[in-house]
């Protein structure tokens, strides 16, 4: 009988997602940088988004979970750069570092619940201690 090893760890695979259509020059630069970008984001629990604003001549680089990006919520880190520049790797490293810090400092659900209960208990105790209101 063979027993399969069960691991409780989640394996993450962040993706590089290009939002919308890109101009010829930025797309060529991005394709050249793509292997390095994928390596930067590969073990992260969120994705790297690249979005070009042609009328402004800029590209935004975002680090965020895909479901949060679609709903425009949740923690996000972003950088705006000129669309003809060639430093996507540096921008990606920066937003990934910033997003890691945001996620690390973000309170967990249990911490939020504890804070809520503490506030409620404080108000409850204050209400019973205030004899003028009774």
pLDDT value at position 108? Answer: 77
Q: How confident is the model at residue 8 (pLDDT cuts 50, 70, 90)?
A: very low
Distance from the Cα of residue 56 to its chain's centroid = 24
Distance CA 46, CA 78 (A): 13
pLDDT at 64: 85
Q: Is the pTM of this model over 0.75?
A: no
Domain boundaries, the chain: 16-106
- Whether the Cβ atoms of residue 48 and residue 81 lie closer than 8 Å to each other: no
Q: What is the CATH number of domain 16-106?
A: 3.30.160
Please answer whether residues 84 and 25 qualify as being in contact, where contact means their C-beta atoms are separated by less than 8 angstroms. yes
Q: Does 125 have pLDDT greater than 60?
A: yes
User: 14-47: per-residue pLDDT in tens?
Assistant: 888 888 888 888 888 888 888 888 888 888 888 8
Cβ-contact 45, 106 below 8 angstroms: no
């Amino acid at each position: 009988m063979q027993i399969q090893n069960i691991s409780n760890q989640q394996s993450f695979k962040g993706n590089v997602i290009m939002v919308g259509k890109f101009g010829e020059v930025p797309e060529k630069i991005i394709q050249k940088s793509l292997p390095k970008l994928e390596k930067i984001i590969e073990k992260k629990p969120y994705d790297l988004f690249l979005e070009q604003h042609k009328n402004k001549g800029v590209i935004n680089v975002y680090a965020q979970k895909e479901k949060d990006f679609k709903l425009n919520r949740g923690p996000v880190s972003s950088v705006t750069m000129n669309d003809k520049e060639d430093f996507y790797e540096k921008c990606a490293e920066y937003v990934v570092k910033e997003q890691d810090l945001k996620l690390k400092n973000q309170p967990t659900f249990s911490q939020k619940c504890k804070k809520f209960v503490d506030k409620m208990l404080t108000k409850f105790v204050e209400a019973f201690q205030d004899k003028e209101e009774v």
